[in-house]
Amino acid sequence: MDLWQLTVLVLRRWYVALPIAFLAVFAAALAGSRIQPEYATTARVQITSPNVTLVGGLGALAPDESGDDVQEVTINPFLSAGAQTMAQTMEFKMGSQEVRREVAARGGAGGYTVKAQTRTPFLQLSVVADSAGQAVRTAEVFGQVLRRELEALQDAKGSPEIQQFTVTDLAVGETPSAGKSGLRKVQAIVLGVGLALAVGLALAVEGVARARAQRHARRRALAGLGPDDRADPARAGAPAPGGDEPVVLPRRPHAGSWH
């Protein structure tokens, strides 16, 4: 069955498909009035490398103040990888469920998205919240937790403060904008389900009608009867196969009817 045949079938059973379609439109409109808009904001930060120059490798040795002995100098192990790798590391850390739960507990939205941009030291934060205040709060808490986690990660390796990476704000907590992407999705789903149901019911009614017609035709065939003219309007009033059309003769007047 192609699209044209399906369209003709649905139009034939319009009394089934049309009410369902109207209900689907009404349900989509009702869903649109009940669902609140979503508020989105973005933030962008940079993982900044320390302003130091390393000479030698990790654990390099340097003379002490007396000039006689040497001492081991602690070097931040993350420096060799660079700011890009550190940004990717913080992407995984800030996207963890532990951090998301903390952000949500402090008044933010835990369903944010954080992504380290390819070959750059930048982190991009995208927030979708139920209110403008929650969206802004999410960006604020995210920045605070990011700084704390970045510092804790380097402190755990004994990195000197002068060698540590830091966070530079580029664009944090831009004005949230109300979006209706979630609303549009819900309406599209409701309409799609309603239209599919309308077409499905029209097909079901057509299938039942055809099955009944076939059973009726088989019963007449077994009884030795011809096709049922009532079941086929095109045959109503047609002459019997192989017979002549009925001839209607003019009526003869009775004797004495002439004056």
Mean pLDDT of the chain: 78
pLDDT reported for residue 206: 84
In this structure, what are the phi and psi dihedrals at residue 175, rounded to the nearest 5 degrees? -55, 120
Positions of E strands within the chain: 38-48, 61-63, 70-72, 113-116, 122-129, 166-171, 177-179
CA dist 86 and 77 (Å) reads 11
CB atoms within 10 A of CB 17: 22
**Mean pLDDT (whole number) for 18-29:** 85
pLDDT reported for residue 185: 78
pLDDT reported for residue 115: 94
| Percent of the chain surpassing pLDDT 70 | 71
Higher pLDDT, 210 or 148: 148
pLDDT reported for residue 227: 58
Q: Sign of torsion, CA 153 156 160 163?
A: negative
CB-based contact 21:198 (threshold 8 Å): yes
| Strand-strand pairing, 70-72 and 61-63 | antiparallel
Confidence of residue 56 (pLDDT cuts 50, 70, 90): very low
pTM, entire model: 0.56
**Mean pLDDT (whole number) for 2-15:** 81
Q: How does pLDDT run across 112-164, given as a tens digit for each residue? A: 999 998 889 999 999 988 888 888 899 999 999 999 999 999 999 888 989 99
Q: Is the pLDDT of residue 97 over 70?
A: yes
pLDDT reported for residue 51: 80
